[in-house]
């Protein structure tokens, strides 16, 4: 009989475990003692300069996380993507949590396949190996063959539903109990964050749900030549088995590995970050587990944008249209250094209460985020911002809405992955131009409203400095000029003459009237700025570069 999983329910699962003290008490004691011993060992050996000591300590850390099971492995995977938080010698060992864990018994895997698919592997496939090629937190992958085509067959670990249900309840219980004593001030109950984690894990162990996610993700990226999603093989997939086409690529683990395969690390960083931004700001549907074990560099592409393959679509999440647009506004307000409006964005997203006096937050926000486009951009990354915000949260009532738990995890993991490939990587150097281009080329009603906020103030007057800032962000880099100038010029022209552009034309006409008189100075500055940016020479250079890049 095929296994059926329930959805995560904090109350029901807590009651389920509390009615089974013979399971709860020994497991809680084991987890507490394990972490006490780990803490003591790190306390006494963590600062040692002896390489052998650190090597043994990193191996001990790996063994502890592995032994504690799938929930803790997932937490360890998140740490394994952050070279700025974890020592390099520990990081190397933690990377094995992504897909190099101890495999479960091969005979059990064969039995699960037969139970789920209704036949033994020798009847289903032309070739099936005697051992898995990779083993991760929730399953292990075999490289099978049928009709001269290689397939990736992922088989779920046995007893997984019980293990996750038990440990998520315990994590929630311990987290809620210990949070008042921990140096945390995230402004929301840690139980809510663990609830989001639990829901995601329960979805992730349903491979039928993962299959649906893979099909949806592939559809969203079907027009993107740089993103590859493996093909789902429905006839070899079920609740505990998922089979896809085999990906022949290089994992995004480190720079040297890519260079050994004649691949350019920077090109994959850009594809990775841009695709992540698309997921958040265009699709509203994102891969919440983008660690190096789930992303492969493929041959092809070019020096600017490499070809990238995503795998493992168990942990996915949505972002509402309202949150998506508010986040875009927030980035625009950071660009324009409008900190009161940024505070309003935080309030709308739920990071601040409705009763909060936003004016009091203008200077603190300026201190945390100010200069991100100026002299400090070279030092700007999410780790720096997180460190500053953590201090800010002790003085001001910021809170982290639980619905942002997976979004933050995905963004931070993605930046961590990029930092592994390039320690000097700065996410804003890609994110800001992306947002600027989206504002200038996306003609949807919502984005048009945001663009109008940038171009015109509340009185309808042209904000030359902000328009100039927007264009400067997009075109200050010669690489961006080559790829973006003509698309932006075309989109702008289409918008201006279209029905949607009526609001732009009306505001331009109204901006010419000041004190009941015609005033052309701002309009002249605007058209001068557009003329200089989109000069015939720049357009010609862009056209030539685009032709060269397609040859």
419-446 pLDDT tens trace:
878 877 777 777 777 887 787 777 777 8
Phi, psi of 360 (to 5 degrees): -70, -15
Domain membership flag for residue 453: yes
- Quote the pLDDT of residue 189: 61
Residues recorded for the chain: 551
Domain membership flag for residue 218: no
Domain membership flag for residue 34: yes
How far, in Å, CA of 91 to CA of 253, rounded?
11
Distance in angstroms between the alpha carbons of the first and the last residue of the chain: 56
- Quote the pLDDT of residue 453: 78
**Which of helix, strand or coil describes residue 46?**
coil
Domain boundary among 80, 97, 114: 97
Domain membership flag for residue 177: no
Count: domains in the chain = 2
How far, in Å, CA of 232 to CA of 211, rounded?
7
Consecutive H or E run containing 256? helix 255-260
- pTM, two decimal places: 0.79
Contact 141, 133 (CB under 8 A): yes
How far, in Å, CA of 461 to CA of 61, rounded?
60
User: DSSP code of 231?
Assistant: P
How many CB atoms neighbour CB 273 within 10 A? Answer: 21
Catalytic residue among 289, 312, 317, 345: 289
Domain membership flag for residue 466: yes
> Which segments of the chain have a pLDDT < 70?
1-6, 80-86, 88, 179-189, 370-397, 459-460, 468, 471-551
- Quote the pLDDT of residue 478: 43
Domain boundary among 53, 75, 97: 97
Helical H runs in 293-444? 321-335, 339-349, 362-369, 382-395, 405-421, 428-441
- Quote the pLDDT of residue 375: 41
Placement of tokens 């190397």 in the chain: 92
Domain membership flag for residue 29: yes
Domain membership flag for residue 16: yes
How far, in Å, CA of 508 to CA of 494, rounded?
16
Is there a catalytic annotation at residue 289?
Answer: yes
Domain boundary among 37, 71, 97: 97
Domain membership flag for residue 293: no
Domain of 448 in residue numbering reads as 442-550
Pick from 411, 19, 402, 18: nearest CA to 199: 402
């Amino acid at each position: 009989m095929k296994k059926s999983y329930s959805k995560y329910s904090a109350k029901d699962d807590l009651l389920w475990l509390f009615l089974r003290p013979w399971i709860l008490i020994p497991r809680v004691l084991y987890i507490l003692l394990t972490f006490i011993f780990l803490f003591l060992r790190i306390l006494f050996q963590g600062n040692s300069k002896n390489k052998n000591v650190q090597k043994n300590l990193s191996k001990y850390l790996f063994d502890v996380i592995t032994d504690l099971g799938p929930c803790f492995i997932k937490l360890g995977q998140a740490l394994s993507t952050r070279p700025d938080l974890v020592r390099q010698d520990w990081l190397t060992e933690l990377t094995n949590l992504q897909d190099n864990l101890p495999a479960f018994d091969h005979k059990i895997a064969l039995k699960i396949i037969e139970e789920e698919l209704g036949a033994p592997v020798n009847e289903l496939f032309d070739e099936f190996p005697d051992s898995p090629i990779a083993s991760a937190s929730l399953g292990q992958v075999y490289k099978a063959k049928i009709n001269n085509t290689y397939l990736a067959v992922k088989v779920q670990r046995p007893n997984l539903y019980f293990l996750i249900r038990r440990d998520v309840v315990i994590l929630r219980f311990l987290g809620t109990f210990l949070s008042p004593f921990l140096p945390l001030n995230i402004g929301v109950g840690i139980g809510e964050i663990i609830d989001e984690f639990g829901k995601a894990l329960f979805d992730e162990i349903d491979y039928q749900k993962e299959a649906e996610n893979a099909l949806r993700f592939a559809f969203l990226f079907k027009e993107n030549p740089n993103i590859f999603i493996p093909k789902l093989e429905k006839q070899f997939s079920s609740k505990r088995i998922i089979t896809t086409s085999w990906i022949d690529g290089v994992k995004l683990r480190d720079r040297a590995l890519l260079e050994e395969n004649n691949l350019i690390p920077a090109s994959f960083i850009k594809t990775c970050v841009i695709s992540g931004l698309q997921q958040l700001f265009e699709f509203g549907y994102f891969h919440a587990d983008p660690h190096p074990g789930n992303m492969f560099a493929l041959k092809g592409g070019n020096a600017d944008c490499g070809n990238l393959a995503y795998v493992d679509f168990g942990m996915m999440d949505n972002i509402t249209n309202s949150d998506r647009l508010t986040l875009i506004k927030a980035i625009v307000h950071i660009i324009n250094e409008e900190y009161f409006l940024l505070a309003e964005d935080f309030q709308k997203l739920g990071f601040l209460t409705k009763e909060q006096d936003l004016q009091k937050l203008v200077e603190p926000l300026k201190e945390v985020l100010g200069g991100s486009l100026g002299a400090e951009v070279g030092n700007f990354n999410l780790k720096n911002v997180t460190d500053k915000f953590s201090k800010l949260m002790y003085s001001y009532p910021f809170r982290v809405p639980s619905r942002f738990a997976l979004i933050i995890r995905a963004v931070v993991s993605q930046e961590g992955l990029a930092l592994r490939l390039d320690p000097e990587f700065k996410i804003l150097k890609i994110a800001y131009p992306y947002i600027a281009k989206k504002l200038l080329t996306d003609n949807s009603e919502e984005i048009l409203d945001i663009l109008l906020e940038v171009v015109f103030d509340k009185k309808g007057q042209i904000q030359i400095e902000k328009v100039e800032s927007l264009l400067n962000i997009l075109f200050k880099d010669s690489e961006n000029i080559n790829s973006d100038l003509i698309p932006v010029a075309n989109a702008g022209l289409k918008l201006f003459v279209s029905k949607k552009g009526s609001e732009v034309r009306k505001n331009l006409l109204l901006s010419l009237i000041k004190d009941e008189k015609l005033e052309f100075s701002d309009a002249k500055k605007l058209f001068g700025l557009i003329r200089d940016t989109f000069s015939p020479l720049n357009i010609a250079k862009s056209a030539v570069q685009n032709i060269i890049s397609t040859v």
